[in-house]
Amino acid sequence: MESALTPAAPSARQWRVPPTLPALKLVGAAALVGLGLVFADGDRVRLVLAGVLAAGLVGWALRDLLAPVRLAVDPAGITVVRGFAGRRRLDWGAVEAITVDRRPRLGLSTEILEIDAGESLHLFGRYDLDAPPGEVADALRAARARSTTGMGEPGGPGGAGGPGGLDRP
């Protein structure tokens, strides 16, 4: 599910982590600590292991709380999350390709949104975006096409297809 459009910029959109995900991670961390206490039986290694795993889950949940918006688009380009909670702005000229990698894994099909910015590759899964990556890729391509209207033919240099028409489904 994509977020509501921001009122200041009607063509701007954001995709964020589902709101329940950080809560589930925090509950999982508390459960790990509880299980560690119950099953430690005087073994400090088990208790430390449970504590380390719980701390990892808490850190992961904190990232979701500090930087819930993973991807945003506006007419000038996109903003992606970088590092723990930082942001990186990519103008449309810096985006070489927007693709969706689909792979069967363990009997399920997995989709990953890939945004190739030349020297960096940004990957987003279903739980980063709270939307199917294919739908997000379509929305990004449409926003890119709207922003480059009048700058060239689609698929040509500066056109909706990006440099050399590198966007592929």
Residue-wise pLDDT for 91-139, tens only, equals 999 999 999 999 998 888 899 999 999 989 999 999 999 999 999 999 9
Residue ranges of the chain with pLDDT lower than 50? Answer: 1-9, 150-166, 168
How many residues does the structure list for the chain? Answer: 169
Distance CA 50, CA 29 (A): 9
pLDDT the model gives residue 10: 52
Tell me the residue type at 14: Q
Helix (H, G, I), strand (E, B) or coil at 26: helix
pTM of the model: 0.74
Distance CA 146, CA 143 (A): 5
Question: Which two tokens mark 65?
Answer: 């709380």
Distance CA 114, CA 122 (A): 6
- Who contacts 112 (Cβ-Cβ below 8 Å, separation ≥6)? 100, 101, 103, 123, 124, 125, 133
Distance CA 70, CA 16 (A): 5
